[in-house]
């Protein structure tokens, strides 16, 4: 996950996931930016994907070449994808709240966590994040 950050990271395992879900959180040492990767296998995968296709009621943007179906959050970079019975979700925060210029994710330095990210900026960042889901799908969670 290091290539996605522009600052040193610390890895924190997510212990709050149980059953068919597993995941990790990667956060910068300063704590301003983070990426959460969640993988759900089995019967709950489709439910997780369906629940993540919208963000506050706004449909996400379709993405291609990632699993069987993938979307990124509307006006943001976060990715949800499914392949067969495996869900991959990548979310997080890209900068401190209301603090322009503090973002520590590659390509998002000028956007705090509450900002809408323009499609021209969000799409390439989401594509890089989606590659992580593709790798998980090809190698297994």
| pTM value surpassing 0.75 | yes
pLDDT for the residue numbered 16: 61
Cα-based distances in Å from 56 to 10, 59, 75, 128, 137: 29, 9, 11, 24, 27
Beta strands in 1-141 (DSSP E): 9-13, 21-28, 34-41, 54-55, 58-59, 61-63, 69-72, 79-83, 86-93
pLDDT in tens, 103-125: 788 888 887 777 889 999 999 99
Contact between residue 109 and residue 127 where contact means Cβ atoms under 8 Å apart: no
pLDDT of residue 18: 63
Closest CA to 73 of 47, 96, 91: 91
């Amino acid at each position: 996950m290091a290539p996605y950050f522009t600052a040193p990271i610390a890895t924190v395992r997510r212990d709050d996931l149980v059953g068919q879900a597993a995941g990790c959180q990667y956060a910068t040492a300063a704590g301003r930016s983070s990426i959460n990767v969640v993988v759900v296998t089995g019967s709950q995968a489709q439910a997780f994907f369906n629940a993540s296709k919208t963000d506050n009621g706004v449909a996400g943007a379709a993405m291609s070449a990632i699993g069987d179906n993938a979307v990124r959050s509307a006006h943001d970079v976060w990715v949800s994808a499914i392949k067969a019975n495996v869900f991959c979700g990548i979310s997080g925060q890209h900068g401190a709240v209301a603090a322009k210029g503090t973002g520590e994710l590659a390509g998002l330095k000028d956007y705090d966590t509450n900002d809408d990210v323009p499609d021209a900026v969000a799409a390439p960042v989401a594509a890089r994040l989606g590659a992580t889901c593709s790798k998980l799908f090809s190698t297994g969670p």
